[in-house]
Amino acid sequence: MPEQLYRRFATVYDRMGADRFSAEMAEYTIRIVRKFDITVTDALDLCCGTGTALQIFHRRGWRLAGIDQSPEMLAVAGRKLARARIDLYRRELPSFSIPLPGDDDIGRGFDLVTSFYDSLNYMLTKRALTGAFRSVYKHLKPGGWFVFDMNTAEALKTLWAGQVYADVLDDLAWVWKNRYDEKKRTADCAATFFVRKGSHWERFTEVHTERAYPNSEIKAMLRAAGFMVRGFYRCFSFEPPTRHAYRICAVAQRPVRSRRGR
């Protein structure tokens, strides 16, 4: 029977090497920060998972916060970041609210919000994704930046549809079976895990669903939430996404002066 997402999975996430992607995104984001000459004092990582990106950002001296819906993922992050003073909040997108940092002339809020490893593909309707963008907007300082990656439909069609991924370690094994619904642009991954507990093996299954959105829709939703789209790339590059790109990275900015009514 499927269970809630990223609960028992949290205990094996880093051991499976799933944290490596976040580390690569954190390094790529540091290149983006340099490219756009962004000054970061306060940053927030959405869907921060086990806190790998926060750990890398912490080394740069940024003040940090993270949010995630999973208490178990946050508990792993809390242990990893025990020596750092980072605020971790259990919150669920699309709507969330946490205390805003800073108190300067420009206004309160984060300088940078990030979200990595297709976390925003978990927003299964345009309303939810736009809602998440609006929540991010409210947490940014005027002029603040938002950097995130998302899987494209090409990724769900090619890397997910009908594919089975499996591996086995001494005390851990997993089998992931994926399906794709082309009409809805959604993919399901039934992820079954086997974890050795002493002399027996524990088995559990989580079903993850992601939705892909055309690039034009992502940009339109960002603009509807009040953002300027400052970069839209084939992830890990500074080139526009090709038709066959599996992952995009968006760089959006909250205008210094908001439009009336926002």
Select 20 or 35, whichever has its Cβ closest to ligand SAM. Answer: 20
Determine how β-strand 172-181 pairs with β-strand 186-197. Answer: antiparallel
Contacts 24+ apart (CB under 8 A), 69-73: 69/5, 69/6, 69/93, 70/4, 70/5, 70/6, 70/7, 70/10, 72/6, 72/7, 72/8, 72/9, 72/10, 72/11, 73/6, 73/10, 73/13, 73/48, 73/49
Binding to ligand SAM, residues 212-251 (CB under 6 A): none
Question: Considering the complex, what minimum distance in angstroms separates the CB of residue 214 from ligand SAM?
Answer: 21
Kindly state the tokens that stand for 238: 């500074």
Q: Does 72 bind ligand SAM (CB under 6 A)?
A: no
Q: Does 155 bind ligand SAM (CB under 6 A)?
A: no
Residue with nearest beta carbon to ligand SAM = 49
Determine how β-strand 87-90 pairs with β-strand 247-253. Answer: unpaired
Where does residue 262 rank: exposed (0-12), middle (13-18), buried (19+ CB within 10 A)? exposed
The 11-30 site mask, x for binding ligand SAM (CB under 6 A), equals --------x-xx--------
Which residue in the block uniquely carries the two structure tokens 């990656």? 149
Among 29, 55, 70, 253, binds ligand SAM (CB under 6 A): 70
Select 93 or 153, whichever has its Cβ closest to ligand SAM. Answer: 93
Q: Does 73 bind ligand SAM (CB under 6 A)?
A: yes
Question: Considering the complex, what minimum distance in angstroms separates the CB of residue 142 from ligand SAM?
Answer: 25
Among 33, 43, 47, 129, binds ligand SAM (CB under 6 A): 47
Give the SS3 label for residue 24.
helix
Binding span for ligand SAM by CB under 6 A among 48-56, 183-191, 209-217, 231-239 = 48-56
Select 73 or 250, whichever has its Cβ closest to ligand SAM. Answer: 73
With beta carbons less than 8 A apart as the criterion, state whether 248 and 235 touch: yes
Select 21 or 232, whichever has its Cβ closest to ligand SAM. Answer: 21
**Alpha carbons 51 and 89: distance in angstroms, whole number:** 12
Among 42, 49, 147, 235, binds ligand SAM (CB under 6 A): 49
Among 89, 122, 194, 246, binds ligand SAM (CB under 6 A): 122
Give the single-character DSSP code of 76. Answer: H
Binding to ligand SAM, residues 50-69 (CB under 6 A): 52, 68-69
Q: Which residues bind ligand SAM (CB under 6 A)?
A: 5-6, 19, 21-22, 47-49, 52, 68-70, 73, 92-93, 116-117, 119, 122
